[in-house]
Structure 1
Amino acid sequence: MEYKDYYKILGVERGAPAGEIKRAYRKLAGEFHPDKNKAAGAENRFKEVSEAYEVLSDDKKRRAYDQLGPNWKAGQNFTPPPGWQPNFGGGAGRARPEDMGGFSDFFSDLFGGGMGGGMGGGAGFGGSRSFEDFGGGFAGREDQRAKVQIQLEDSFNGAQKSIGVNGKTLSVRIPKGVTAGQTIRLNGQGLRGGDLLLEIDFRADPQFSAQGRDIHVTVPIAPWEAALGQSVPVPTLGGSVQLKIPANAQNGRKLRLKGRGLPGTPAGDQIVTLSVVLPPAELDEQKQFYRDMAERFKDFDPRA
């Protein structure tokens, strides 16, 4: 089986650094991408370039390939590095055929697995890719998604967070007013030079919950505060404020604090749910108080 010189295919020297290999690949991938170049042989050339980059851009695969030499089929030179195990698409062991569509028999024999179908019009990384998917550099870049958990206060005030991803620590600016499910894009921090998309998720909070930009909180109040209507302190993400409770407020009533939710245009509101808490009747005089109340409100039926 014919030995493929991946360095020659990309037009780089055998000891070329990773950056040079990536630049060469981007140039050739842009030149021969089938969505751009309709000339005969362009697609096959693009497959060769993609195959070469698939190996030379991965340290483990490149080390194994560098030990081969053209006599690899005779088994004279190939000694895989300790613990080396080819892995395409995240699974352990042999490469899956669907992950290697369009690659050569040399590639298949070298890294294991059968050969599956054709390129499907794409770059041979498991499914079709359009010319635009290569982000202007025409490299096989892959956007990567991850979730990042933040406190509600981080969204309310804005914050700077450090997160670990892809073996490195990144400093991420959390903008004010970001909501759960929104994404923060970090250019060039994904796989193969793609972007990293961080999906925002809020950590559980003992007091607050968020629905969009609105913040919800439950506030306990005494029966007389509900009956007579009084001002009570209410926690918000920006600090405590006084809330005027209307007279005869019932348990479960919702009151709105305009603009006290997460920042935005417009800002969210804070929704306050009242929870009427009865004082315990443990002493005789406390029990007598409830007996007197029952007598005074004997015409009141809470189940009517």
Structure 2
Amino acid sequence: MAKNFYEELGVAKTATPDEIKKAYRKLARKYHPDVSKEANAEEKMQAINVAYDTLSNEEKKKQYDFELEHPQGFAGFGQGQGTGGFGDGQYYHQSSQGNAQDFSGFEDLFGRFGGGFGGGQQHDFGQRNSRQQRSYKGEDQHASIEVPIDVAYEGVTQSITLQIPTYNAYGEPEVQRKTLQVKIPKGMKEGQQIRLSKQGQAGINGGENGDLYIEIQYQNTDRIRVEGADVYYTVDVTPWEAALGQSIEVNTPAGKVKVTVPKNARNNQQLRLKDKGIPNKTPGHLYLVINIVYPKAETETQQKAYQDFADAFSHFNPRS
């Protein structure tokens, strides 16, 4: 007698969906025609495909369990006579519209195998059809790159080499290297993605490739930090510029700007330059972060200047 679907996958009738999926993956790696040395690999792969297609679908599994529990009402099923939908592991049940059901759950294996599984055979009310190879689109892949903040304001086309995690035909993880010419338009916010059509995982059985999505990250430095479309830029100022509120010229990522430091400015105080951040559809802001730098007193004149300063502010005690 032919195996039923539970026996085909080596699971109990009470197996959970996760247990069924785990058993299927294990068998798929063993019998995948591209890697298996078993003489009956293709036939076995077809059988476990059909079994998993039914047991991983709640409605189809319920119908199948009913037929197992009432074999007298389905005498032609499961006896390898080509007259039923479940028994011989080579056919799968048609929908009420007469269209073959897709292998549910099959998509999560796209990246684990290099070739196709062959697809199930259709049952056409007692007539055997030849096996039909099914095509599937490859998985989308994702990568992240870091670029200088200048790219946000100017855009660039550059060659990049990516190392993308993927799976080989044996289901083993590996790193795939890709070198691509990528156009990064100006105005990309931190975390936005560029879609490269058909540069993702290869399709199965002639299916089209997936897409590659590249997430843009900007290189943070000791002076530059990016959050979305906002840019934070640290600016060094002298104690007298901070105390007196003087005008200074700053070479920012958005170009040279003249700003007036607020009188008695504090360290880490921020000056907002509206719409001077990343020039997105909704522009970000540029924040100048004040960093007060004190010069060294190396000569007698410089030391005296500090002493005069101390005398003028003798009442000031920052630790009080």
Answer whether TM exceeds 0.5 for this pair. yes
In structure 2, the CA distance between the partners of 1:111 and 1:246, relative to structure 1 (3 Å rule), is farther
Question: In the alignment, is residue 118 of structure 1 matched against residue 52 of structure 2?
Answer: yes
1:250-271, Cα deviation, whole Å (9 max, x unpaired): 2221111111110113211111
Please state whether the residue corresponding to 1:240 is helix, strand or coil: strand
Question: In the alignment, is residue 149 of structure 1 matched against residue 146 of structure 2?
Answer: yes
Please state whether the residue corresponding to 2:52 is helix, strand or coil: coil
Aligned partner letter, 2:104 = G
Aligned partner letter, 1:212 = G
The count of residues paired between Structure 1 and Structure 2 equals 202
CA RMSD of aligned residues (A): 3.4
In structure 2, the CA distance between the partners of 1:205 and 1:106, relative to structure 1 (3 Å rule), is closer
Aligned partner letter, 1:290 = Y
In structure 1, what is the equivalent of residue 308 of structure 2?
292
How far did 1:106 drift? 7.4
Aligned partner letter, 1:107 = P
Among candidates 228, 234, 256, match of residue 272 of structure 2:
256
Aligned partner letter, 1:223 = P
Is 2:220–2:226's contact at 8 Å kept on the other side of the alignment?
Answer: no
Counterparts of 1:237 and 1:176, CA distance in 2: 13
Percent of aligned pairs with the same residue? 34
Aligned partner letter, 1:303 = R
Counterparts of 1:228-247 in structure 2 under 5 Å? 228-247=244-263
Question: In the alignment, is residue 181 of structure 1 matched against residue 191 of structure 2?
Answer: yes
Question: In the alignment, is residue 214 of structure 1 matched against residue 230 of structure 2?
Answer: yes
Aligned partner letter, 1:170 = L
Counterparts of 1:167 and 1:227, CA distance in 2: 54
Tell me the TM-score normalized by structure 2: 0.54
Larger-Rg structure: 2
Is 2:193–2:213's contact at 8 Å kept on the other side of the alignment?
Answer: yes
Counterparts of 2:282 and 2:30, CA distance in 1: 56
Is 1:226–1:248's contact at 8 Å kept on the other side of the alignment?
Answer: yes
Q: Which runs of 5+ in 2 are unaligned?
A: 1-21, 57-102, 111-133, 163-175, 204-208
In structure 1, what is the equivalent of residue 88 of structure 2?
none
1:216-236, Cα deviation, whole Å (9 max, x unpaired): 111111111111111112222
Counterparts of 2:306 and 2:31, CA distance in 1: 88
Please state whether the residue corresponding to 2:255 is helix, strand or coil: coil
How far did 1:206 drift? 5.1
1:272-300, Cα deviation, whole Å (9 max, x unpaired): 11111112122222222222222211122
Counterparts of 1:228 and 1:218, CA distance in 2: 19
Is 1:161–1:173's contact at 8 Å kept on the other side of the alignment?
Answer: yes
Counterparts of 1:126 and 1:234, CA distance in 2: 53
In structure 1, what is the equivalent of residue 171 of structure 2?
none
Q: Which runs of 5+ in 1 are unaligned?
A: 1-95, 129-136
Please state whether the residue corresponding to 1:200 is helix, strand or coil: strand
Please state whether the residue corresponding to 2:151 is helix, strand or coil: helix
In structure 2, the CA distance between the partners of 1:213 and 1:142, relative to structure 1 (3 Å rule), is same
